Every structure is written in structure tokens, then in C-alpha cells.
Amino acid sequence: MKTQFFTLAFTGALIVATGPAAAQQMDPNMPGMAGTQVTKPTEAQGVGIVKAIDPAKGTITLQHQAITAIGWPAMTMSFKVASPNLLKVAKVGDKVKFTLRPAGMASTVTSIIVER
């Protein structure tokens, strides 16, 4: 597509097309979608560093920055993942963007994008 034609003519108006909407694609394997119609956000975006990956438990430990959408401070914690495949996306030490389904300490990570 040639939609970025003449972008330079619009000084300072460059629009980043990879905002939150881009990260809200559903994982077709995402379980538990029924009964999640609540008013608080059903997804939140975070950024962090991978500290550990545990395929046996199906968890990833992230040192994440504050996630203001759900009122979380920065911390290091482990998350369940929506699919075991998510544990293959990143390795310890990677900086990642991730999407989570908030549920306190039982929150589930539903997508991971490695930032290189």
C-alpha cells in the first residue's frame, strides 16, 4: 500500500500506526472469553525485561514498568501465558512489549513482542 505518500508534507503530524489497537488482535486460542464483560480494562499493555521463563509451569517472569491503565506500579513478577508458544517468542534478557489480561497476581500474558 502507498498510504504513506507525501507524509513529509505534514510536518510533525506523523501518525504511529502501531498503537494499542495493533496489539489487541485476539489470540484464537485465548481461553475464558465468556464472562469477562466487566467495566475495567480487559487488556492492558506493558513493557518490561524478561527475567525468567519456566516452560514446565507455563510462566514468564517480567520486570515490568508501571502499567497506568490498571494502576500497577513497576515490579518484577511472574505471569501465566495464554499459550505455551508465547514462551518461545522471547528469551531471558529481552526487552518486550506485552499484552495482559489483568487479574491481579493471576494475570495472564496474551501477547509478547520482542523489541530489538
Site residues, Cu ion (CB under 5 A): 75, 77
- CB burial string 48-80: b at 16+ within 10 A, e below: bbbeebeeeebbbbbebeebeebebeeeeebbb
| Cβ proximity to Cu ion, 67 vs 89, nearer residue | 67
- Smallest separation (angstroms) from Cu ion to the CB of 83: 20
- Smallest separation (angstroms) from Cu ion to the CB of 110: 15
> Any bridge partners for residue 97, and if so which?
47, 113
| Cβ proximity to Cu ion, 75 vs 103, nearer residue | 75
